[in-house]
Structure formats: C-alpha cells, structure tokens
Amino acid sequence: MTTDQMLLFGILIVLFGLLVWGRFRYDLVAFVALLATVLLGLIDAGQAFEGFGHPAVVIIALVLIVSRGLMNSGAVELIARFVIRPDRSMSSHIGIMAVAGAALSAVINNVAALALLMSLDMDAARKARRAVSLTLMPLSFGTILGGMITLIGTPPNIVIAQYRDNALGAPFAMFDFAPVGLAVAIVGIAYVTLIGWRLIPERPDAVSLEGDAGLYVAEARIKEGSKSVGMTVGELYPLANESDVTILGLVRQGKRLPGFSRSREIRKTDFLVLEGDPKQIEAFMGAAELDTVGSDKHGGLIGRSMSLVEAIVPEDARVVGRNTLGMRLVQRHGVTLLGVSRQGKRFRERVRGLTIKPGDVLLLIGPDENIAAASAWLGVLPLENRRLEVLQRTKAMSALACFAGAIALTVAGLVPLTIALGLCVVAYLALGIIGGRDFYELIEWKVIVLLACLIPVGQALEETGGSQLIANLIVSQTGGFPAWAVLMALMVITMTLSDFLNNVATALIAAPIAVSIANSLEVSPDPFLMGVAVAASCAFLTPIGHKNNTIIMGPGNYQFGDYWRMGLMLEVIVIAVAVPVIMLVWQF
C-alpha cells in the first residue's frame, strides 16, 4: 500500500465514521474531506471543484425542479385521485399505494413521490381508523423500489450512469435500468403487500408537532365554466366529504343565504362557504373547479406560483379591528383572504368583511413574492411550516407534455438528458408552473454539495489505485467463485454501506470498485455497475440510509429497530431477484 493510498483510506474512514455518526451535516463533512485531500496533495487544487459542474450534479438538481413542476400542475394528483379509498382491505390498500408510489418514483424523484402520497396515506388511515405505522413504511419502500426503474428515478442511478460515461465512454440510457429495476420492484412490492406489512409493529399515531390552527371558514367563488354551475349545493356534498370539507352555505349577490342552502341551485359568481383545513379546502376547490376573489389579479401570471399561508394576528397588528375588504388587500398587494380560523367558532359574516380580532388565524392566498409583503403590511405573523402550494390543475396536461417531450428527446438521442431537462424547466417557468424563486428553493443543496465534493474524492480513490486494491481484496476473498458470486458479494457490501451512509456517497465509492473488480475478472463491467446501482438504492434496514425512511419516522412513530423487521427479508429478495436478471440482461 502506497503512502497516498494510506492517506486516502484514512480520510475515507474518518468520512464514513462521521457520516454514520450523524453529529455534523453530511455536506460539510464531505466538503472538509475534499479540502483535506487537496491539502495532502491527493487532488490537484485546480480540479477540486470540478464536481460542481459534473453532469450528475446538474441532472439531480433539474430532476428536483421538474418533480415539483409536475406536482404544482396537478399532473401527479390525476393519478393520486384514483388511489385512495378507505374501505379497501389492508393488503389491497398497501398494494395500490406501493404500486402508485413506484410508478411515480420512476418518473419523478422518489422523495417527491413519497411527499405527495404520504399525506394521502395518512388521510386514508385516519378515515379507516387504523394505525398509520402499518402503511407508511410499505409506501416508503415502494417509492424506493420504483426509483430503480429509470435513470431519473433515484440519484444512485444518475451517479452510476455518469460514471459509466467517464469510465467506458457512454452512459447508461434512460431505460437501461428498467429490466432489473422493474423485476425487483414487482417482486419487492408483492412481498411488502402480502407479507411485509404484517411484520411491522402497530404503533399509535404520532402527535403532530406543527400545531394546528383549527378549521377555517372560507369562501370560494364559482368561476365561469365550472362544473358546479347548475348543480345544487347538496349535490356537491359527496365531493366535499371526499375532501373532508363541510359546506356551510351559499353567498349570492353579496349576501349569505339562510341555512345551509342544500337545495339551492349554484350560479356563476356565487360563493360557497366552506369549513376545513387549508389542504382540504384547496383540494375541494380544485375538484369542484372553484377560485377566489382576486384570481384575475394574481392568477395565471408568467413565473408566479401560488401559495396558501396561515398567519396569526397579534394584538398590535394593523388589521385588528378592521377587515381586509376595507383595507383593499387584493388591490394593494394582490393577496386574497381566503379564510379565517377563530378558535373553532363559525360566523355568518362575509370572510373579507369580517372584523379581525387578536388571536385569529388568517388563510392568505397569492403569489409567493406577494405573501411576505402583505403579511408585513397587515402586521400578521406567518406560521412556520404552514405554507401550502396551490395546484395549477389547468396546466396538468401541458406539464405532462413538456416532460414527455424531454424524455422523448433524450431517448431519441437528439439531446443529452441535462439539456432536455433544462428545456423542460424553462417551459415550466414560461408556463408559470414554477416561479423564479422555486428554481433555487427546490434544489436540495446539501445533497448537491455532498455529491460535488465526493466526485473528486472518488476519482482520487481510482487514480491512486485504491479502488483496484479493494477490488483485489474482494476477488481474493472470493477466489475461485464464479463472477455472479463475486457480484453478489459486491452487492451485499454496497447494500450494507447504503443502510448507514447516504446512497449517493455509497454509489460514488462503490462504482470505481465495481469496474476494478470487472477488470480483474476480465469480464464486462456493466453487470457490476448495475449491481451497485441497485444495491446503493436499497437501504431498508435503518431510517438513516435513505431520506424516505427518515421522512416517515416521525409521522409513523417508528423506532430505529422497526425497519429491519420488514427490510431484512426485502434486501435478501432484492439480491435474489437482481443477480439472475442482471446475468440475463447484462451478460458477463
């Protein structure tokens, strides 16, 4: 072992130890490791930050933005709308949710897929009066499995594809991962649906730490062309029940009609008086094709995404003792008061004409850039973590068409994936599906920094001969074994690392080792690279190996040791399915 190899292995051991410990942010740990390799002369200073321009880094950033665009447009909701039914059996519900999660994860980032479906799953559990712990973990595992099907489904696939480009002169294509990923996903979801969920401890639902402002009384306008026109209020009750919204009445020509107006026929420009939480109200407005006062002033503008924000009214707020109609909130700031929560109390006054009191919580809707200014002018305090994106459902087909066009350009070989996704992002900006602020806020910068810093470290491992040294050790320990057995050993090692390290870091370190092993055995490196891609994504034993598992830990009230109960057998299944399929599709 050379001096450079010993120094680099020392850095990697400290890096892995700090990442597993989790005491410090993983992006800062990776940045310090990069600087250490430069100071020790293992990486040329001029090449230290080349990782920030690496195609894998750009692709991951663009995939996050495109994923949000698909969600903002309501394109993803088109699928989710047919998924939830609280009267299904447990296995049926888990199977359908896992399949939906896998399908979404194949085309958008798997973290984004989980973020969307998790809330739907929790709503279904509440309606069915069952513990959410029984269904959230299968959903998380389903989204992880689905991410392996395409190039853009999970970051390790992107890393492996770009490493193949550097090492062999050509990357893996969009659907090169599909044969292995699809086979693993089908068998894995079948296990999760029929057996796996029965191994999860049933735990009481966790108490939300975000706080709850209570139910809002809100007003939504019947817009021209709405399917609600001509229906009676009572005919909208089933749709309202699906969204957990109560219809309190009808406003016509500025006056609240008496009672609940169940038998009244709805006319254009009428207002429905609704009661529910912000997410439920927004979902019902989309399903019933309703809008808000002032939508002509803050809706449909290029580059402007809309948000619902909850804000509490302190005693010294400007709005106390006044109403937003008199303050001309819409005209001055392009923001509408959609609803008011007053300690669970209902009121018959018009929402915009209601005299605001200290302690009220206001539900404001408008462009992202206007909400902050309007809140400051009113003197109200936006509640942290209570911001909700308003879906632009009329743009769903446009968003899908742009995304499909980007994929088609890539598959046809007309432009690289980075350029195709970039064109898709530009189209979303032009259509107003995402705003300029979203372009930066939606990128998970910690992952970007981690990846950009570890790319040069991985290259140093290869250039110093460290990868070949590890490969020789694995080959010597499996001496006389067939190539498929060596592949299995590599996948087991990679999967074990991925259970405790970030999956991007695992893929970056394992990729050069895979190529070195293939060279030592004098076989094609593709089966080994594909094996690393699969194994790096399959972190099912702990809540720290994959971000999806971390996300569900709190809402599902899981403990650290709960994951291996279902995950251990799943990892065995992944190895058992992946190795034969890799041998069949990617021959040695």
CA gap 181, 177 in Å, rounded = 6
At 211 the pLDDT is: 44
HEC string of 493-509 equals HHHHHHCCCCHHHHHHH
Q: What is the pLDDT of residues 238-268, one digit of tens each?
A: 988 888 899 999 999 889 898 889 999 999 8
Confidence at 206, pLDDT banded by 50, 70, 90: low
CA gap 559, 552 in Å, rounded = 11
At 304 the pLDDT is: 56
For 525-544, what is the mean pLDDT? 91
Contact 483, 570 (CB under 8 A): no
Nearest CA to 532 out of 154, 143, 103, 219 is that of: 154
Taking residue 209's Cβ as centre, other Cβ atoms within 10 Å add up to 7
Q: What is the pLDDT of residues 99-156, one digit of tens each?
A: 999 998 898 878 778 877 887 788 788 778 888 889 999 999 999 999 999 998 888 9
At 221 the pLDDT is: 92
For 567-575, what is the mean pLDDT? 95
Task: Examine the pLDDT at 358 and tell me if it is beyond 90.
Answer: yes
Q: What is the pLDDT of residues 71-115, one digit of tens each?
A: 788 777 776 666 666 677 889 999 999 999 999 889 887 877 887
At 208 the pLDDT is: 46
Structure tokens at 544: 């720290």
Q: Please, what are the domains in the chain?
A: 216-394 (3.30.70.1450)
Contact 514, 525 (CB under 8 A): yes
Contact 244, 280 (CB under 8 A): yes
Which 3 state secondary structure label does DSSP give 150? coil
Q: Which residues contact 190 (CB under 8 A, 6 or more apart)?
A: none
For 43-72, what is the mean pLDDT? 83
Nearest CA to 197 out of 137, 140, 144, 125 is that of: 137
pLDDT, greater one: 380 or 411: 380
- Checking 413-421 for CB contacts under 8 A at 24+ apart, the result is 416/55, 417/55, 417/59, 417/151, 417/152, 417/174, 418/55, 418/58, 418/59, 418/62, 421/59, 421/62, 421/63, 421/66, 421/152
At 194 the pLDDT is: 94
Contact 136, 122 (CB under 8 A): yes
Task: Examine the pLDDT at 488 and tell me if it is beyond 70.
Answer: yes
Mean pLDDT of the chain: 86
End-to-end CA distance of the chain: 30
Q: What is the pLDDT of residues 375-388, one digit of tens each?
A: 999 999 998 777 78
Tell me, yes or no, if the pTM score tops 0.75.
no
pLDDT, greater one: 93 or 57: 93
At 305 the pLDDT is: 66
At 485 the pLDDT is: 92
At 172 the pLDDT is: 92
CA gap 586, 588 in Å, rounded = 7
Confidence at 529, pLDDT banded by 50, 70, 90: very high
| Partners of residue 276 on adjacent β-strands | 216
Burial of 378 (0-12, 13-18, 19+ CB in 10 A): buried
Task: Examine the pLDDT at 574 and tell me if it is beyond 90.
Answer: yes
At 295 the pLDDT is: 66
CA gap 317, 375 in Å, rounded = 10
Q: Which residues of 166-176 are buried (b: 16+ CB within 10 A; e: fewer)?
A: beeeebbebbb
Q: What is the pLDDT of residues 283-317, one digit of tens each?
A: 899 888 898 877 655 554 344 567 889 999 999 99
**How far is C-alpha 284 from the chain's CA centre?**
23
At 318 the pLDDT is: 92
At 509 the pLDDT is: 85
Task: Examine the pLDDT at 42 and tell me if it is beyond 80.
Answer: yes
At 195 the pLDDT is: 94
For 510-521, what is the mean pLDDT? 90
At 499 the pLDDT is: 84
Q: What is the pLDDT of residues 269-281, one digit of tens each?
A: 899 999 998 888 9
Contact 324, 293 (CB under 8 A): no
At 81 the pLDDT is: 65
Which 3 state secondary structure label does DSSP give 308? strand
At 446 the pLDDT is: 83
Taking residue 527's Cβ as centre, other Cβ atoms within 10 Å add up to 24
Sign of CA dihedral 499, 503, 506, 510: positive
Spell out the alpha helix ranges (H) of 73-109: 75-80, 90-107
Q: Which amino acid is at 185?
A: A
At 85 the pLDDT is: 67
- What percentage of the chain reaches a pLDDT higher than 90? 35
Least confident of 46-50, 305-309, 480-484, 583-587: 305-309
For 67-72, what is the mean pLDDT? 82
Confidence at 554, pLDDT banded by 50, 70, 90: confident
At 83 the pLDDT is: 66
